[in-house]
A and B are shown apart, each in its own frame.
Chain A
């Protein structure tokens, strides 16, 4: 992080961190403490590196999404310095801790717990990452637009803990396309397992995708790949090449679609011309838009000729 590039007049660097907080975070081998500490340390690093940096953290659980930082009222940002640290960083830690506690209490409220069917232990429920990303994007848009400096850069970092998201495909795609339009690269760090949907997002928006198999080294990965790699000296314009560290080349992305009938990924498919539903076989009726497909009978052709 070169210090000389951080001047007060410079363009702001915005970062939105979307943190996945699933119920099975407890089962993570390094424990939820290490995970959240790494995220906080990374957030501190971002904010502390330059005065021009702005941050928002959005948490996504399987029942709801919530902003963890910044504080809602500007007055909450003024805290007394206690331990010789930058006040802003102290405020960040306190704010995140407080909101996270509220979020957890809200979730363990029996009313909410019952309504959301926590009993289905067979498959861990999906976190609502697309909603959190959507909110983070709206936050970034407000701050990109508000300041006059046109060269504001914004990035989004998504942290996902094990588990494949299959639902809400359209929501994710809409978020990616919007991010692409705003010029916000979406970096993704997946813990333990790959997530094809988030990988597509990183590829569409020009962000970086990384799968982390050892959660112990989360902080190290975040700093090396997603801070030094993507942000560069703070002046690098978004994109893969902006960083101080050269990143490994991206993997191939699987862009196949899942067919609507069997939910299987297909190489070739039939698409309804009216609603673009994907079918792996020829069907007589589109189940999405109720359109009949006239079937061309080869027997009819000679009849036409005779007439």
Chain B
């Protein structure tokens, strides 16, 4: 089973003395050592994240397969696995759309040995959130079916254009699956369709899930507790490296005008089913002049993808990541303050190490370093220098 996977099980690995890393400082306190470790672990996570490939699957189409079997009623995650997971997804969905603006998300649930498409692929986070609150009312019962959900996902994903990154994220709580046929054929089919399947287990490691994710190039992980589960789900926010066989094409997009002055009242096309009231505010498709109240959207009339320039720019951060800063020991002859937040370096406390941008040579404190790499993605020092 573990032929390709050299990682040994936890109970087979060596004995770690985690408490020995904590040392007392001169005053006999362990606080500084602990803060140091916390900062270090923060930075380590940041470093690990940045080694992504050059070509990323920026246009993602992701189906989340949610296990709604009776195993979801377990109370090891509080209050129940079901509630905990829905709560995590409610955080995940807006964040996903923010970081992947031209990507789409769909939701499949599986219970009672069947799989059902709960939400179709769409790029509207509000609709997903609405459906997720509805999901809290759905009772969890029966057994899940891995094969049925995969077949359903494949049938929707296989028609997508070849330049998209097709992904399935399975959140699996049960230890069994009830399948109508041979699942290895389905896995082959999934693989043939270039779909990347990642599995997050809520209970334990399952051979079939591991096989599924390793064949299709996805990741497999099992959560320890609710916070860990949240981290594992959030790991899926970053776009994955593009599959080698992925084609690249030019996609036609429209940048709609936002007309308010002398516009005629009209109904927006995105909420047409709910009989919206007439209004003048909105964005107009440059091709067919249909009105939309929110962007990004796919024009319902002419199928044009409608975005704004900042939406595209949101994705650039994945493509042009900020280079890692170089860690330096702080000494008195360096600059007295952090270049970013104007904080005086505190030599004995937090700022034993300072961080230098390799291109503009400015010094930053650890908080700014993490914030710049996690959220801002531009170095203010380089932006303040006309040569870059």
Interface residue ranges, A against B (CB under 8 Å): 56, 60, 62-65, 67, 70, 72-73, 116, 125-126, 128, 130-132, 134-135, 137-139, 141-142, 168-171, 173-178, 181, 200, 204, 249, 252-253, 255-258, 266-276, 278-279, 282-283, 286, 289, 291-294
Contact = CB atoms under 8 A, between A and B. Distances in A.
A132 B384 contact: yes
B251 A257 contact: no
B308 interface: yes
Interface stretch (B62-70, B148-156, B312-320, B325-333): B312-320
* Residue from B250, B259, B377 whose CB has the most chain A CB atoms within 10 Å: B250
Given A170-B313, A170-B378, A255-B309, A273 B58 contact: yes
A293 B383 contact: no
A255 B342 contact: no
10 contacts: A168-B383, A170-B316, A171-B383, A173-B314, A178-B375, A267-B255, A273-B251, A274-B163, A274-B242, A294-B249
A166 B107 CA distance: 41
B377 A139 contact: no
Interface residues of B, number: 63
B383 A200 contact: no
Given A174-B377, A178-B375, A256-B255, A116 B386 contact: yes
Contacts of B386: 62-63, 116, 125-126, 128
A176 B312 contact: no
* Residue from B59, B242, B336, B377 whose CB has the most chain A CB atoms within 10 Å: B377
A296 B106 CA distance: 30
Given A125-B386, A200-B310, A267-B255, A293 B248 contact: yes
A128 B385 contact: yes
B339 interface: yes
A282 B317 CA distance: 25
B247 A294 contact: yes
A176 B383 contact: no
A279 B312 CA distance: 13
B384 A138 contact: no
B78 interface: no
The prevalent SS among residues of A at the interface is mixed
B251 to A, nearest CB: 5
Interface string B127-162: 000000000000000000000000000000000000
B340 A271 contact: no
A97 B270 CA distance: 54
B316 A293 contact: no
Nearest to A283: B250
B112 interface: no
Nearest to B368: A138
A147 to B, nearest CB: 14
Contact of A273 (B54, B250, B368): B250
Nearest to A134: B380
B58 A274 contact: yes
A173 to B, nearest CB: 4
A138 B312 contact: no
A177 B378 contact: no
Contacts of B385: 64, 128, 131
Contact of A169 (B260, B313, B342, B371): B313
A56 B163 contact: no
Contact of A274 (B248, B253, B372, B381): B248
